[in-house]
A and B are shown apart, each in its own frame.
Chain A
Amino acid sequence: EPEVTQTPSHQVTQMGQEVILRCVPISNHLYFYWYRQILGQKVEFLVSFYNNEISEKSEIFDDQFSVERPDGSNFTLKIRSTKLEDSAMYFCATRPGTFAANIQYFGAGTRLSVL
């Protein structure tokens, strides 16, 4: 069964450094999402992406964050100048383009630890 792949599984970084989290969507999926789950808390929406542009973003997704599809396949989340409170599990999700098939398929996540 096709799946969403995220790399790395665990990323450790120093505060103030930039990190890039990578996601390989299921092929033929057109909508892409990033979510965040701080340890012990709920899963929170960050951003959605369609047709090479952001379609919606939450208030969490400030200027520190950016997303792109650099090569038409990978979908990346960049966090500039990481802060301690950015430590969380980051999930990528994708879904097909058809309206009715709006199940989002999630990757296994990247655990980001900011020291």
Chain B
Amino acid sequence: AQSVAQPEDQVNVAEGNPLTVKCTYSVSGNPYLFWYVQYPNRGLQFLLKYITGDNLVKGSYGFEAEFNKSQTSFHLKKPSALVSDSALYFCAAGDNYGQNFVFGPGTRLSVLP
């Protein structure tokens, strides 16, 4: 069975500093990995995905994520955090056919001015 872990409930970072939100996964077969962001009272907004190809994927709003097969990780990163990046971030894994996603528990990112 697929599973996704986000070891940190909360990440605090100062504005302008780099940020990392961690995600590890356990899937059978090839991993299909995604990051979504949830702002207050909003739905889940797609940020980026890894299906195949380069291990470093770039997404919306300056975010990127690095796929590391040996460590089964897919950490979300941004070189310079903005206060507006403060939100709840979810890592998700899909199966080969893009069927149901398994979500991690979420990490709340707070960017402090």
Contacts and interface: CB of A to CB of B under 8 A. Distances in A.
Contact of A43 (B49, B51, B98, B103): B103
Contacts of A104: 34, 46, 94, 98, 101
A91 B43 contact: yes
Interface stretch (A62-70, A71-79, A80-88, A95-103): A95-103
A93 B99 CA distance: 11
A50 to B, nearest CB: 9
Interface in B28-67: 32, 34, 36, 41-46, 49, 51
A20 interface: no
Interface string B92-113: 1010011111111110000000
Contacts of B105: 41-42
B25 interface: no
B103 A44 contact: yes
A61 B101 CA distance: 15
A100 B103 CA distance: 20
Label chain A's interface by main secondary structure: strand
Interface residues of A, number: 27
B90 interface: yes
Interface magnitude class on chain B: 20 to 34
A109 B105 CA distance: 18
A44 B97 CA distance: 18
B46 A56 contact: no
A108 B43 contact: yes
B25 to A, nearest CB: 14
Interface of A: 4, 6, 31, 33, 35, 41-45, 48, 55-56, 58, 91, 93, 95, 99-100, 102-109
Interface of B: 32, 34, 36, 41-46, 49, 51, 90, 92, 94, 97-106
29 contacts: A4-B43, A31-B98, A33-B100, A35-B101, A35-B103, A41-B105, A42-B90, A42-B105, A43-B101, A44-B103, A45-B100, A48-B100, A56-B99, A58-B100, A91-B43, A93-B101, A95-B98, A100-B51, A102-B32, A102-B94, A102-B97, A103-B46, A103-B49, A104-B46, A104-B94, A106-B36, A106-B43, A108-B41, A108-B43
